Structure formats: C-alpha cells, structure tokens
Amino acid sequence: MAEAAAEAARAEADTILKTADQAEPEDMLAADGYIFCAPENLAAISGLMKEFFDRCYYSVLGLIEGRPYAQMICAGSDGANAARQIARIATGWRLKEVQPPLIICTHAQTPEAIMAEKTIPDDQIETCREIGAALAAGLSLGVF
C-alpha cells in the first residue's frame, strides 16, 4: 500500500518512503505532507507505528502545523480504531486531513490467515496510488 502511494506520488513531487522504524523527527520536519500507512493489530496501530509516533511526537510538536496528511490502514476486520488513533495524533500535531482514512480489510480471521502475507487486490492498490498522486499533486500545485 505504501509503496503504491509513494510510486504514484513520485510522478508529481519529490517523495521519500520510510518505514516507521527508519523515520525520524528530521524526516517529519523535512516533509511538506505525510501519508501514514499502518496495519491494525489487535484493534490498534501496530507497535512499530506507535513507537514512531512516540519517538517523533514532541520533537516536531508546533513545527509541522497545517501540513496535509492522509492515512491508509490495512486491517483484518475493522481498522476504525487504528484510523482514530492516527487522526488523534495528527490532530495534536495540528495537521490537515485531506481525505478520509482508507481502510483496506483483508478479512483475515483465523490465526493462519492473520499470520499469512497479505495480498491487496489491484483495485485497492490503485486507490493507494490515487491517494499518493493526489497528495503530491496538491502539494505541487499549492492547494494544501
């Protein structure tokens, strides 16, 4: 999902894709906008994503206000709580949500399905691309 969004964004603007464990406050400060992409684990954002927010939150607080963001969640059944968590953090940062969260549900409900590598259908990957392209185009055109 993140790779599809980043690939499409690159056609419109300089784009950097970082995993949650690689992203630092300096990356947040250098970016003009953000797409937060995370799995939902046990009705919450993944531990790595939570650790990213914990590590970066106070370092950029008050320094990134008004920047646009979007979010994409991959969930087994719901995804809404992970989206609420990210939105609450983004609200604290005073970021500007530029579209409702995209939640892609894999319907993984058994231990085997939950642990298996997920394949996102092409139409949903296309939606991820559209999000990346739209955010980058909006930044390039000065819409955000």
pLDDT, tens digit, 9 for 90 and up, residues 28-44: 999 999 999 999 999 99
Query: Distance (Å, rounded) from C-alpha 76 to C-alpha 68?
Result: 27
pTM for this prediction = 0.94
pLDDT, residue 106, reads 94
pLDDT, tens digit, 9 for 90 and up, residues 113-141: 999 999 999 999 999 999 999 999 999 99
Could you please state the CATH topology (level 3) that the domain comprising 2-137 is classified under: Rossmann fold (3.40.50)
CA dihedral 114, 17, 34, 101 (to 10 degrees): -30
Mean pLDDT across the chain: 96
